[in-house]
Amino acid sequence: MLSNTTFLITGIADKHSLAMYVAKEIIKQGGKVVCTGLGVSSHHENLSEKAKAFLNKNFQDFKEAVTEELGDSSVEILDVTLDDNIDSFARSLSEKNIKLNGFLHAIAMDKTIRNKEVKPLLDVTKAEFCDTMDVSAYSLIRLTHYLLKHKVLQSGASICSLSYIAAAKVTFHPYRNISIAKAALERITVELADELGRSHDIRVNVLRFSPYMGSKAGNATLNEEDVQTSNKMSPLGNAKPMDLAHEIIHLFRPDLSITGEIRHVDGGYHITG
């Protein structure tokens, strides 16, 4: 289905990341992937030794996970908070003559969640709010911008992002700051779908997935009770990572006239209030 295609996969933290399931399915369907992770690049200046050690360990763990699960798939450093890094990354792909048929945006960050405790919205600082918005939402715009600037993202490509139900409603697991950023991500999706569809025949969609503890991000924000509650509330029970992967593969298919969608892959969780 995806033979002779290449997709950029962001947001892989370990082998249990949702993005990893998508990458594996792309390869299974005959496509190739370029995977990005956070590490120390030439654009990271004045970092403390502690910060460098953290980023180096993060990138090493990421590379090992990709090698273990995806073989010799390409890995690159990408920090979406640095325009120079995004620019050089896209230029590097162009110089390697890599053409992308789409990409998965699975990046999010929120420093107001610590040890599963959520800071009240009234206590969220401007820096915390803007940092979360930058990584979790605005990065979709900048990444798309530079991939198009360097003619890496092809006409007719497909872009998918990951969201969740709290972008639309207050849930029993109220992670407010990241929820606002996800709402912005969904609105950006709709606007880009219109803009890019008309200018480049590019499709842009976003998917809301069930609460999931398998990844590092899920473990940072959820507990087992949350997952059990959503499982009971969902008519079909919680969706599985492969359900998400299959839906994204469907949206990655060439010549598909679906764009501007907020898709639910959650076992019906979104209909139960």
Q: Which residue range forms the structural domain that includes residue 230?
A: 6-271
**Phi/psi class of residue 78: alpha, beta or left (left: φ > 0; alpha: ψ in -120 to 50)?**
beta
Most confident of 152-161, 163-172, 174-183, 220-229: 152-161
167-170's contacts with Cβ under 8 Å and 24+ in sequence apart are 167/208, 168/270
- d(CA 14, CA 255) in angstroms, rounded, equals 32
Output the six-digit token pair for 195: 């803009």
Q: Is residue 19 part of a domain?
A: yes
- d(CA 156, CA 152) in angstroms, rounded, equals 12
Which pLDDT tens digit goes with each residue over 9-49? 999 999 999 999 999 999 999 999 999 999 999 899 888 99
Which pLDDT tens digit goes with each residue over 140-150? 999 999 999 99
Q: Is residue 131 part of a domain?
A: yes
Output the six-digit token pair for 201: 């025949």
Q: Residue 249: pLDDT band by 50, 70, 90 thresholds?
A: very high
Predicted local distance difference test score (pLDDT) of residue 247: 98
Predicted local distance difference test score (pLDDT) of residue 116: 74
CATH of the domain at 231: 3.40.50.720
Q: Is residue 239 part of a domain?
A: yes
The structural domain count of the chain equals: 1
Which pLDDT tens digit goes with each residue over 177-194? 999 999 999 999 999 999
- d(CA 266, CA 168) in angstroms, rounded, equals 14
Which pLDDT tens digit goes with each residue over 47-57? 899 999 999 99
Q: Residue 130: pLDDT band by 50, 70, 90 thresholds?
A: very high
Q: Is residue 74 part of a domain?
A: yes
Each residue of 77-114: b (16+ CB within 10 Å) or e? bbbbebeebbbbbbeebbeeeeebbbbbbbbbbbebbe
Residue 206 has pLDDT above 70, yes or no: yes
Query: Structure pTM?
Result: 0.95
Q: Is residue 196 part of a domain?
A: yes
Residue 218 has pLDDT above 70, yes or no: no
Q: Is residue 1 part of a domain?
A: no
Cβ 9 vs Cβ 106: under 8 Å:
yes
